[in-house]
């Protein structure tokens, strides 16, 4: 390879000065290099493993790996929460494989077993390869997932000592059939939970209950495995690991791996001539901007990955760059869309490492399954949702000695806008906590049933399942799901399998199946809760990165018939929502204003949808729909101000609906900064005069039955959250509100009315009484 010129500072200067782009660069952060720190191999790591590691070029582990190994060998629940490419796998594989090797000396050759759980199949497949590199052949590692043929499954149950699977398979396949796994479970010494930060919200809460069921079944066979968790860097990983496993955990967070210097730039695409909803100005899309930047980086021979949100965008970015580059450079740019076979992924890795491939546009599927560390530059087209994934993606840039460039390109929404103008929210703020709420009765109830079907439930089990369990049992008995045969012992009474009523990745209600009309092929499912807004007749639906047009949504059979299509527009549902307070858990007073957290009932009806041009956001037309209303009982945070405060803030009653609506939108956009949720996981309602509070009130609620912990986060961090919301609105340079500040892509009301300026005044008067502000006052 000829030497390349990719000094990150020089690259960034070139990008930002060409074509008058200086004002698009909103911030540059310089992150210093970190030296490697190593430690000797701890006691208890077998010489065979050390030898294989050394053959792979790892003479000694980094300090965090050694620390995790040491704790794991003492049977301590440990969570290893360090950066991308910091070798977390070695940290848990070395102790696990050592134990399994010792187990091979047992009479049946399987004196010790271990279970590995990953959120995706691709990741589990990768892990098997890594385990095979480190362990002698005597350790039998095997995949056990939906693709494992039946004849092989029997072999895995009988002989494998390291079983790699996913939580769904543990829930549906392994636990209900535990007697067939008896010898494996009896010898179970370790459970590895990889990428554990991805178990958040409803999915995470389900997984937490599956792990409790696993622990209970293990206890029945006399084993008590040690849990080893690997996580991206998150806030308080020990607390999350505790919530997930139910066991006290020790966190290892001091990263001993080396890192080259990183220049991290924040970038805001320019406003265009195009006009969106309510005549608002529209920015150039982050993907289009990424296409331009990728072109220039490839021209300079810079190895670059662009992270985008969908397969379609990956293709668009790659195509745009190829067009602009022309031959022969165009051949050195590709799109990666996930779902590739292992060999294809390996080929891609090789091409990137060798430099044959210079530019790759990819969905974040790349985060799971392809090793592309050591790049010269990473572009992120849009904030990936959490600081944890931001650092994971940025971490792909940089090799030990050389510097690298990372650029976050803002999308046209309030959170991205806020971030590129508030670098401290990215660089001086710890990553967010992974939020989950396993105690949600809607989630717990079906797992209690599944547990009772696995082994009769006893009083002694209740502490394992948390404080709500005791209260739920009589309810489940009443519903005829569980029966007490002997005092203090509950049985599953139904003929059907208890586990079939729970989809770990769903949120209750029978999910709607997405079926390709021409082939009858089942493409996947969407939650019942989301079906009306995402797969109504006429909707453009994105499924695993591909676009489809919904031909018909049949609610009777819960089927949406779709056809692949690439219309030049996206759709967004219009709806009507009302909310009532069922119970208030906590209220705090902020001066005259009040902030509350509690249970609510949300009634929502989708009444139509808009078609918007993808490239510009321009509204092309509107269609009506005839769908029944849906009721959701969930948790919410809400705040209200008094009429006197409105007078003080100079907000006349006719401006109030627009002010509250704008504040609601922006606050939903900003909540993901404080909780690991997506703006699609939460909803909001703003009411000028709410019957339950008697005051102007803004509600933000969890979009899942029973709640998922997000609204609670908002309540607990309300002052920072609403201050950030206020600042995001105030900072936007648009005149009367735009998608970067107060407009929402999921507004059921066509973004009308919205009053940006009055929203700032409304939030100011609310925050004036907040405890932090009050303390600042003279």
Which residues of the shown chain bind Zn ion in the complex (CB under 5 A)?
732, 734, 738, 740-741, 747, 749
Q: How many Cβ atoms are within 10 Å of 688's Cβ, its own excluded? A: 17
Token couple for 151: 């004849």
**What value, to the nearest 5°, has the Cα angle with vertex 231 and ends 706 and 436?**
10
* H or E element in which residue 13 lies: helix 8-17
CA distance 327 to 348: 20
Q: Is the CB of 81 or the CB of 724 nearer to Zn ion?
A: 724
Q: Is the CB of 547 or the CB of 744 nearer to Zn ion?
A: 744
Token couple for 713: 């986060």
CB-based contact 491:483 (threshold 8 Å):
yes
Token couple for 220: 């029945």
CA distance 682 to 671: 9
Rounded least distance, CB 662 to Zn ion, Å: 9
Rounded least distance, CB 741 to Zn ion, Å: 3
Q: Is the CB of 498 or the CB of 747 nearer to Zn ion?
A: 747
Rounded least distance, CB 740 to Zn ion, Å: 4
Rounded least distance, CB 742 to Zn ion, Å: 7
Task: For 453, list phi and psi in degrees, rounded to 5.
Answer: -70, -30
**Helix (H, G, I), strand (E, B), or coil: what is residue 193?**
strand
Q: Is the CB of 591 or the CB of 750 nearer to Zn ion?
A: 750
CA distance 776 to 778: 6
Q: Is the CB of 223 or the CB of 749 nearer to Zn ion?
A: 749
**Helix (H, G, I), strand (E, B), or coil: what is residue 374?**
coil
Q: Is the CB of 65 or the CB of 667 nearer to Zn ion?
A: 667
Looking from the CA of 639 toward its CB, the CA atoms found within 13 Å total 28
Q: Is the CB of 50 or the CB of 738 nearer to Zn ion?
A: 738
CB-based contact 631:602 (threshold 8 Å):
yes
Phi-psi label, residue 558: left if phi above 0, alpha if psi -120 to 50, beta otherwise: left
Rounded least distance, CB 75 to Zn ion, Å: 52
CB-based contact 650:306 (threshold 8 Å):
no
Q: Is the CB of 167 or the CB of 748 nearer to Zn ion?
A: 748
CA distance 244 to 256: 26
Specify the pairing of strand 377-381 against strand 404-409.
Answer: parallel
Q: Is the CB of 113 or the CB of 743 nearer to Zn ion?
A: 743
Rounded least distance, CB 456 to Zn ion, Å: 49
Rounded least distance, CB 281 to Zn ion, Å: 8
Rounded least distance, CB 734 to Zn ion, Å: 3
Rounded least distance, CB 529 to Zn ion, Å: 18
Rounded least distance, CB 309 to Zn ion, Å: 21
Rounded least distance, CB 738 to Zn ion, Å: 4
Cis peptide preceding 753, ω within 30 of 0: yes
Q: How far is CA 238 from CA 66, 77, 397, 427, in A?
A: 18, 9, 28, 22
If you search the block for the tokens 């105030």, which residue do you land on? 730
650 by Cβ neighbours in 10 Å (0-12 / 13-18 / 19+) ranks as exposed
Sign of CA dihedral 6, 11, 12, 15: negative
Q: Is the CB of 409 or the CB of 562 nearer to Zn ion?
A: 409
Q: Is the CB of 394 or the CB of 738 nearer to Zn ion?
A: 738
* H or E element in which residue 767 lies: helix 756-767
Rounded least distance, CB 66 to Zn ion, Å: 50
Q: Is the CB of 409 or the CB of 759 nearer to Zn ion?
A: 759
CA distance 209 to 717: 26
Q: How many Cβ atoms are within 10 Å of 109's Cβ, its own excluded? A: 12
Q: How far is CA 2 from CA 5, 302, 321, 730, in A?
A: 10, 12, 23, 49
Q: Is the CB of 389 or the CB of 740 nearer to Zn ion?
A: 740
Rounded least distance, CB 16 to Zn ion, Å: 23
Token couple for 49: 């493993």
CA distance 451 to 499: 9
Q: How far is CA 278 from CA 554, 726, 736, in A?
A: 33, 21, 9
Rounded least distance, CB 271 to Zn ion, Å: 10
Token couple for 211: 């792990």
Nearest residue to 548 via CA among 574, 511, 522: 522
Rounded least distance, CB 416 to Zn ion, Å: 12
Q: How many Cβ atoms are within 10 Å of 430's Cβ, its own excluded? A: 10
Q: Is the CB of 88 or the CB of 574 nearer to Zn ion?
A: 574
Token couple for 551: 């031909």
Q: Is the CB of 321 or the CB of 732 nearer to Zn ion?
A: 732
């Amino acid at each position: 390879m000829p030497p390349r010129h990719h000094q990150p500072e020089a690259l960034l200067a070139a990008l930002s000065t060409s074509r008058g782009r200086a004002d698009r660069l909103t911030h540059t952060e310089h992150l210093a290099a970190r030296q490697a720190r190593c430690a000797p191999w701890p006691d208890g790591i077998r010489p065979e493993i050390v030898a294989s590691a050394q053959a792979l070029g790892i003479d000694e582990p980094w300090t965090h790996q050694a620390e995790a190994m040491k704790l794991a060998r003492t049977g301590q629940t440990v969570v290893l929460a360090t950066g991308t490419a910091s070798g977390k796998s070695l940290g848990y594989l070395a102790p696990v494989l050592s134990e399994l090797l010792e187990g091979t000396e047992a009479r049946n050759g399987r004196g010790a077993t271990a279970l590995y759980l990953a959120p995706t199949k691709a990741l589990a497949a990768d892990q098997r390869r890594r385990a095979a590199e480190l362990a002698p052949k005597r350790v039998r590692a095997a995949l056990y997932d939906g693709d494992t043929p039946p004849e092989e499954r029997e072999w895995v149950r009988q002989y494998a000592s390291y079983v790699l699977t996913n939580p769904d398979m543990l829930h549906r396949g392994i636990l209900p059939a535990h007697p067939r796994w008896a010898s494996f479970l009896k010898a179970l010494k370790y459970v590895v939970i990889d990428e554990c930060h991805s178990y958040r919200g409803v999915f995470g809460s389900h997984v937490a209950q599956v792990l409790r069921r696993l622990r209970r079944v293990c206890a029945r066979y006399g084993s008590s495995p040690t849990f080893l968790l690997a996580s991206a860097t998150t806030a308080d990983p020990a607390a999350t690991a505790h919530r997930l496993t139910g066991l006290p955990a020790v966190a290892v967070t001091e990263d001993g791996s080396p890192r080259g210097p990183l220049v991290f730039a924040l970038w805001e695409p320019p406003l265009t001539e195009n006009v969106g909803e309510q005549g608002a100005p529209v920015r150039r899309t982050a993907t289009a901007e990424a296409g331009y930047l990728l072109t220039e980086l490839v021209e300079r021979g810079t190895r670059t990955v662009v992270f985008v949100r969908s397969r379609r965008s990956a293709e668009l970015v790659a195509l745009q760059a190829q067009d602009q580059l022309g031959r022969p450079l165009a051949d050195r740019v590709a799109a990666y869309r996930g779902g590739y076979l292992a060999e294809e992924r390996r080929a891609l890795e090789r091409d990137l490492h060798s430099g044959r491939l210079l530019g790759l546009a990819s969905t974040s599927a790349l985060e799971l399954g392809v090793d592309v560390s050591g790049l010269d530059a990473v572009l992120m087209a849009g904030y990936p949702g959490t600081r944890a994934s931001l650092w994971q993606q940025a971490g792909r840039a940089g090799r030990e000695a050389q510097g690298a460039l990372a650029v976050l390109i803002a999308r046209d929404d309030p959170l991205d806008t806020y971030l590129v103008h508030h670098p401290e929210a990215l660089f001086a703020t710890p990553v967010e906590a992974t939020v989950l709420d396993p105690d949600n009765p809607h989630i717990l109830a079906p797992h209690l049933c599944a547990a009772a079907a696995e082994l009769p439930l006893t009083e002694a089990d209740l502490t394992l399942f948390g404080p709500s369990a005791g209260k739920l049992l009589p309810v489940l008995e009443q519903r005829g799901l569980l029966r007490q045969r002997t005092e203090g012992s509950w049985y599953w009474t139904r003929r059907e399998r208890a586990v079939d009523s729970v989809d770990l990745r769903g949120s209750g209600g029978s999910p709607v199946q997405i079926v390709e009309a021409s082939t009858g092929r089942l493409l996947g499912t969407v939650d019942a809760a989301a079906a009306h807004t995402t797969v109504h007749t006429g909707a453009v639906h994105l499924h695993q990165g591909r676009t489809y047009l919904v031909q018909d949504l049949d609610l009777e059979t819960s089927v949406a018939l779709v056809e692949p299509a690439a219309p030049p527009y996206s759709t967004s549902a219009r709806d009507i929502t009302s909310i009532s307070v069922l119970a208030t858990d906590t209220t705090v007073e902020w001066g005259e204003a009040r902030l509350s957290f509690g249970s609510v009932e949300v009634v929502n009806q989708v009444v139509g949808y808009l078609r918007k041009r993808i490239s510009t956001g321009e509204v092309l037309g509107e269609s009506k729909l005839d769908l029944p209303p849906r009721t959701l009982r969930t948790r919410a945070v809400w705040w209200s101000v008094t009429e006197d405060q409105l007078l003080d803030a100079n907000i006349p009653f006719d401006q109030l609906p627009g002010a509250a609506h704008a504040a609601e939108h922006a606050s939903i956009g900003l909540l993901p900064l404080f909780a690991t949720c997506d703006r699609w996981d939460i909803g909001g309602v703003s009411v000028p005069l709410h019957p339950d509070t008697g005051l102007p009130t803004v509600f933000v609620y969890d979009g899942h039955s029973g709640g998922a912990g997000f609204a609670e986060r908002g309540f607990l961090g309300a002052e920072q959250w609403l201050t950030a919301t206020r600042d995001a609105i105030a900072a936007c340079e648009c005149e009367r509100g735009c998608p970067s500040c107060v407009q929402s892509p999921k507004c059921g009301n066509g973004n009308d009315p919205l009053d940006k300026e009055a929203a700032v005044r409304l939030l100011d008067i609310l925050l004036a009484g907040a405890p932090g502000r009050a303390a600042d006052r003279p």
